[in-house]
Amino acid sequence: MTRLIVVRLLFGALTLWAVSLVVFAATQALPGDAAQMILGRDATPERVEALRDQLDLHEPVAVQYLNWLQGIVQGDLGTSYSNRTEVTEVLSGPVLSSLTLMGLAALAATPVALLVGAVSALRRDRAFDHASSMGTLVVASIPEFVVGILLILLLGPGGLGWFPSVYSREGGPDQWVLPVLTLAFAVAPPIVRMMRATMIEVLESEYVQQARLKGVDERAVLWRHAAPNAIGPVAQVVALQLAWLAGGVVAVEFLFNFPGVGKILMDAIENRDVPLVQAVVLLIAGIYILVNLIADVIGLAANPKVRVANR
């Protein structure tokens, strides 16, 4: 099993490297002059030339890439153009905020989604099941920022007025509620559906029937016999959804004016702050890969065939 994890890790690193190539290509190496693009059409030729020097744009593309990659490996993400500070410094605060936001959304969404899915499976074809499958379908088919807007209209100042709709430095913890809820709603439906489908399959399996025929009580049937066999497939979907959070957070942060990586990314794109864009995109990709890796490991660990064979 350790070997399998190491292999997965290597593949993760490989993917990350591929992503770095794409990011670099898209932001710096594409035809057209990066310096001109950054400074805009009105810039004087001298300033463009100065920036070209500063960006090493005279070097061949491969050398530029290697320099950039070397910096990243050493933890040096470069200097932000717009405010002349280290990218790492610019990002540290927002990254923490965004990770907290994502973590809270995951914590809120996953257990509830798993529970709703499991209960739907147990009450298959009854009112609860129909309601939940209808509900998840509706929520899943609406874009997350629309869900956010609906939540604001319903619970924000215009509606019930329970929670503030815009993040501000002075606000209390209640200003986290709506962004977290929005992300949770965006993430939950596929988890609910997958959990329901997997549980139905597992509950109809012969080993669950056999456990019941052995006289094992229903709770043990559910938690001891059914749940461990449902973990593997469901973990994959949970991971995909949580990984989606890394990108999905961008629109939601923008909507709530939440000071996270999403907002930084939007600002950086607007300011043509190439090093910052590169860093944020790489970070999102990294989270994506990491979460999927964790899901793979959980899936492997939940499968006794793998667990025993590769000890």
Partner 1 sequence: MTRDAGREADSGGGRDTGAAVLSVEGLTVIGRPSDVEIISGVSITVARGTILGLVGESGSGKTTLGLSLLAHCKRATEISAGRVEVAGKDLASLSERGVRELRGRAVAYIPQSPASALNPALRLRTQLREALHDASLSAADAQARVREVLGEVALPDDDGFLARYPHQLSGGQQQRVAIAMAFVGRPDVIVLDEPTTGLDVTTQAHVLETIRRMTRDYGTAGVYISHDMAVVADLADEIAVMYRGEVVERGRTDRVLADPRHSYTRRLLTAVPLLRTTGHEEGGEPEGEPLLRVAGLDAGYGRTRVLDGIDVSVHRGECVALLGESGSGKTTLSRSVAGLHRQYTGEVVFDGSPLAAGSYRRTAEQRRRVQYVFQNPYEALNPRRRVRDQILGPYRHLVGRPRDPGAVVAEALERAALSASYADRYPEQLSGGERQRVCIARAVATRPDLLICDEITSALDVSVQAEIVKLLRGLQDEGMALLFVTHNIALVSNIAQRVAVLHRGVIVEQGPVGRVMSAPEHEYTRALIADTPDFELSFAGAPERLGMAAQDRPVTGA
The nearer residue to partner 1, 89 or 218, going by C-beta atoms, is 218
The nearer residue to partner 1, 116 or 221, going by C-beta atoms, is 221
Query: How many residues are recorded in the chain?
Result: 311
Name the burial class of residue 271, with classes exposed (0-12), middle (13-18) and buried (19+) by CB atoms within 10 angstroms of its CB.
Answer: middle
CB of 222 to partner 1, least distance (A): 13
CB of 195 to partner 1, least distance (A): 17
CB of 221 to partner 1, least distance (A): 10
CA 239, 183, 255, 284: dihedral to nearest 10 degrees? -20
The nearer residue to partner 1, 111 or 228, going by C-beta atoms, is 228
Stretch that binds partner 1, among 82-90, 167-175, 180-188, 300-308 (CB under 8 A): 300-308
- For partner 1 (CB under 8 A), the number of binding residues is 24
Render 151-206 in DSSP notation, one character per residue. HHHHHSTTTT--S-SS--TT--GGGGHHHHHHHHHHHHHHHHHHHHHHHHHHHTSH
CB of 197 to partner 1, least distance (A): 16
- Phi, psi (deg, nearest 5) at residue 86: -60, 140
The nearer residue to partner 1, 17 or 223, going by C-beta atoms, is 223
Among 40, 45, 60, 304, binds partner 1 (CB under 8 A): 304
CB of 225 to partner 1, least distance (A): 5
The contacts of residue 73 (CB under 8 Å, 6+ apart) are none
Stretch that binds partner 1, among 18-26, 104-112, 169-177, 302-310 (CB under 8 A): 302-310
Task: Kindly write out the interface string for residues 145-184 of this chain, putting x where it contacts partner 1 by CB under 8 A and - elsewhere.
Answer: ----------------------------------------
134 and 140 in contact (C-beta within 8 Å)? no
The vertex-213 CA angle with 208 and 214, nearest 5°, equals: 95
Long-range CB contacts for residues 259-262, cutoff 8 Å, separation at least 24: 259/93, 259/94, 259/97, 259/167, 260/94, 260/95, 260/97, 260/98, 260/101, 261/91, 261/94, 261/95, 261/98, 262/98
And the tokens for 79? 């200097």
CB of 114 to partner 1, least distance (A): 17
The contacts of residue 31 (CB under 8 Å, 6+ apart) are none
Q: Is 302 in the site for partner 1 (CB under 8 A)?
A: yes
Q: Is 224 in the site for partner 1 (CB under 8 A)?
A: yes
The nearer residue to partner 1, 17 or 207, going by C-beta atoms, is 207
Task: Kindly write out the interface string for residues 226-265 of this chain, putting x where it contacts partner 1 by CB under 8 A and - elsewhere.
Answer: --xx------------------------------------
- Tell me 79's DSSP state: B
Contact set for partner 1, span 191-220 (CB under 8 A) = 204-217, 220
* Cα 95 from Cα 157, distance rounded (Å): 28
User: Rule CB under 8 A: which residues touch partner 1?
Assistant: 204-217, 220, 224-225, 228-229, 302-305, 308
